[in-house]
Structure formats: structure tokens, C-alpha cells
Amino acid sequence: MEPETLLIRLSMNEHATKFPRATWQGAGTEKTLRLAGEWTLGSGEIKVEGYDDGDWPKRFVTDGIGHFDSRLPGYLMSCFRAKKKHHEGSLSGLPNNLRELMELALKVPDHHEAEKQTEHSGRLAALGTKMTSVWIASVSLVEFIGETVLSLGRFFTGKARFRKSDFRTILQECGAEALPIVALITFLIGMILAFVGNAQLANFGAGIYVADLVGIATVREMGVVMTAIILSGRTGASFAAHLGSMNANEEIDALRTFGFHPFDFLVLPRVLALILMMPLLTVYANTIGILGGMLVAWTAGITPALFWTELLSAISPQSYSLGVIKSVFFGATIAIAGCMQGMRSGKSSSAVGQAATRSVVVSITAIVVLDSAFAILFTLLDI
């Protein structure tokens, strides 16, 4: 054999002894586990040899072990948990330091609840879980609304405390800063209503009634609903993100520590701001929407004077007030949804984004449901 070949084979055998090996030998009272090689994290894959009948070995043979770190006790613990039979005094043969470490580890009980659940729940169990989640969410919502009502009660009795500068800032964010986007959306909605209405009514020679269609649809439904949806995505999400960030940074807990009621200091000014601003924004949106419809009607041959005359004959003060009344409830709904998602969010940055998303979804859903309820109520009352 050539010297180069011999050198290569010797180096391969020397490298092979460094791999960690576990060899199962014997059975019953003679069962042993022979451990050899380097049991370190960078020593390669563990080689398991011999027949393992599922029982814990009676003794260990460790004369072939080199260096070892946490990999060796980790392997022994994984074997221990997988065995059907194991008993005290079965660590004989291990080095003293390793045996003491294993005895300490085995005294700690396993946390079964932390293990991965592999059992598949039935449909009935899944339904029960969902219903439980819905019930918990409903109770949490009622509790939050109750806390908000109590905070409003403290405000009207002069016991609530919050900074006036914060309230003025929130008023500006909810009101003046929202005017451009509200104007743009409602103006386009008014134009769309006029386009669609004129395309159909002109076939019957009743183009003048475009004013009735635009006016009634805007003041009763579209003005207040579109304003609420805009504020849900703009202001409600902002409330959720702001309060969620404060919750993640434990600023809300700090307020409690200093004796401030979080609902009075954080939720109350936001609820009051939206309750005050929503009716004003609704009136503004109605005006802009009607102007958009008037512009389209003007291009269709209906003069602004004729449009305005027909509009005043179609809209009564009662009809105009319906949208304004609904706006108060919509504003409170948006504020409560945004504040609730922010106050109940998690402590991580991703939880803040999820709270803002949930705030928008919950707000828009609640607005649609409330608007449907108002439509049914107004129909029953014949107004």
C-alpha cells in the first residue's frame, strides 16, 4: 500500500471517531447504552447503532466519550421521555458531572400543556371553541362600553380628569384635518348619484327629479355613512395605533400608577371629540355631496336655481335631521371601537398594527349594522 493512501485512510478513521455514537447492547437486566465520540454541537450527526426495545438502559458505558457539552444531556433527556420504562438508579456508568446534571434535570416535572397538541378536535368541539370566543368578545365589548358610559357620567358630574390641550388636538385631528378627504369623497359620491339618476330618469323625461334623488340619498344615507367610513379608516385606526403603542410601552400602566383613570384620560376625550365632530362633518359632507350632484345636473341642462328649488321641496327638516342623529351614534361607535382595540392590544409592535386593522373592520361592520337598524326603525315609525 502506498504511503499516501495509508495516510488518507488513517485520517478518515481518526475523523470517524469524533462523531457521537450511541450503541444499544443487550436486553432486559443486561441492557446497556454505550456512548462514544465527541458530543459537541459541531461534531456531526449522531450515529445510533444496535436494537432499541423501548426500555431505559440499566447502565451506561462511557469509556469512549471525548468532550461533551449540552448536546449529550439533551440526547439523554430525549431518550428518557421516549422510553416506556425508566426507574431511579438507572444513571449508573455516567460521569459524575453528567450524572448530577441528569438527576437535577429529571427532578423537574414535564409541562405537558406546552407540548404540541396533535389530536384533532371534532366539529362540535371547534364550534364550542368559536362560540366561547364570541361570548368572551361580547362580554369584553359590553364591559368596555360600560366603562365608557361611567366615564361620561364622571365627565358630566365634573369628576373626570383629562388635559384640555389633548382634547383640542384630538378635535383638530377629527374635524379640521378631515375636511379635505371628506369633501373629495362626498363630492364624487354626489356626482355619481347624479350621473346614475340622470341616466335613468332622462328616459322618462323626469330629469328634474335628479335633485330629489341626490338630496334625499345624501342627507339620509350617503353623507353620514361615507363620513363614518372615512373616519373609521382615518381616525379610528389612529386611535387604535396610538393607544396600542402606549399599551406596548406600558404608558397606560404608568397612568394607573400615578392615579389617573385611563378611561377618563385617554378614551373620554376621543369619544367626546368624535361625538361633537361627526354631526358637523355630516352637515359639511351633505353640502359638498349636493354641490357635486348640482354640478352634474347643470351639465345635463338643469340650472342651479331649478335644481335648488326642487331640492328644497324634496327635503324636509325631518329628513335632514335623520342623518345628523345617526352621526352621533356612528361617532361614538368609531371612537369606542378604536379605543377598545388599542387598549386591549398586545405588547408587541405587530400587535399595534393588528389593533389598527381590527379597529377599521369592527367600525365599518358596526356602522353598516347600525345603519340597517336605523333604516328599519325609521320605516316602522314612517319617517
Q: Give the chain's domains with CATH numbers.
A: 16-114 (3.30.750), 159-380 (no CATH)
pTM confidence score: 0.65
Helix axes 268-299, 223-231, angle to 10 degrees: 130
pLDDT in tens, the chain (383 residues): 444 333 333 333 444 457 788 888 877 667 788 888 888 877 778 888 877 766 777 778 888 787 787 778 878 777 776 665 555 546 777 887 777 777 777 776 655 544 444 444 578 888 888 888 888 888 888 888 888 888 888 888 888 888 888 889 999 988 889 999 999 999 999 999 999 998 888 888 788 889 999 999 999 999 999 999 999 998 999 999 999 888 888 888 888 888 788 888 888 999 999 999 999 999 999 999 999 999 999 988 888 899 999 998 888 888 888 989 999 999 999 999 999 998 888 777 788 888 899 999 999 999 999 999 999 998 898 87
Other beta carbons within 10 Å of 277 = 24
Residue 13: exposure state from Cβ atoms within 10 A (0-12, 13-18, ≥19): exposed
